[in-house]
Amino acid sequence: MSATRPAAPSGLAAALSRHVHALAGEIGERNVFHPRSLAAAEDYITRELRRQGHAVGAQRYAANGVDCANLEVELRGASSADEIILVGAHYDSVDGSPGADDNASAVAVLIELARILAEGPLARTVRLVAFVNEEPPFFFWGNMGSGVYAKAARARGDDIRLMASLEMLGCFSDKRGSQGYPPLLRHFYPDRGNFIALVSNLRSRRALKAAAAAFRESTDFPCESAALPAWVPGISWSDQLSFWRAGYRAIMITDTAFYRYPYYHTAFDTPEKLDYERMARLAQGLSGAFTRLADGRKP
């Protein structure tokens, strides 16, 4: 670890490592093609959240004949409870991969955010949702878990002020040339993959600006942000897409996936590849950012 980089809290880093090793190491590949493993992942997440003292709601539905569930924890707001900040991460992995970075890393952060954010009162309600079935064959349509959830939220009239999709949060590198980009963007952003990226479609750019500012107020963790057309490769490739379609403002928080991580969607996406100390620093920064957004503070 660099001498100039702030140290991560060892307990948080260890907790994140434990979650990733449980999901991507012990359970492994988890999707409708491996229903027992998918159910084991659901059980693990539910058990960890209940251990923190949370009531865990389950939105159940069938996909490819398999019983599936989106898992939800709600931290009720004290003064503006009808206004919602929703943070989500998918817990399934793509067929053929144990899915350590994609997406056990983000689920691990989600579990720890549920613990940290419950420590203090919040003005707005914060929902933390573990989505099922983000990966093919469900991505983009059909029984994508976040799509099922977002449609139900819109039908209920849920006032979701911001949805933040946590998508791959474990790969960081200080090596020059370790970061790639879609065409042209490489001229405007760093060539080292040591930052977290906040991205959105153009319609969500104000929400993105507020989220990025709240994050930068909360931590010195390197951060880059960009609001881009949804057709730019990678911009819409996670659960935020479902919320854009439902008419909500949504962003993705990511280590940039295949633009940085060489083991994306492969059998080599395993727990020892991740940087748990930086993940812990990132989780702390995200907890501060979501607290600021939930409290309605203007960055």
Domain residue spans of the chain: 10-294
pLDDT of residue 297: 66
pLDDT of residue 222: 98
CB 113 within 8 A of CB 287: yes
Residue 105, SS3 per DSSP: helix
Task: For residue 16, give Cα distances in angstroms to 29, 37, 97, 194, 297.
Answer: 18, 20, 19, 18, 28
Strand 159-167: give its sheet, edge to edge.
57-63, 66-75, 124-131, 80-90, 159-167, 250-254, 196-200, 223-227
pLDDT of residue 4: 44
Residue 11, SS3 per DSSP: helix
CB 297 within 8 A of CB 214: yes
pLDDT of residue 6: 58
Provide CATH code, domain 10-294.
3.40.630.10
- Which residues, 6 or more positions from 278, have their beta carbon under 8 angstroms from its beta carbon? 8, 172, 221
Which pTM was predicted? 0.95
Task: Please give the chain's pLDDT, 299 residues, in tens.
Answer: 334 455 567 799 999 999 999 999 999 999 999 999 999 999 999 999 999 999 999 999 999 999 999 999 999 999 999 999 999 999 999 999 999 999 999 999 999 999 999 998 999 999 999 999 999 999 988 899 999 999 999 999 999 999 999 999 999 999 999 999 998 888 899 999 999 999 999 999 999 999 999 999 999 999 999 999 999 999 999 999 999 999 999 999 999 999 999 999 999 999 999 999 999 999 999 999 999 999 986 54
pLDDT of residue 67: 98
CB 22 within 8 A of CB 267: no
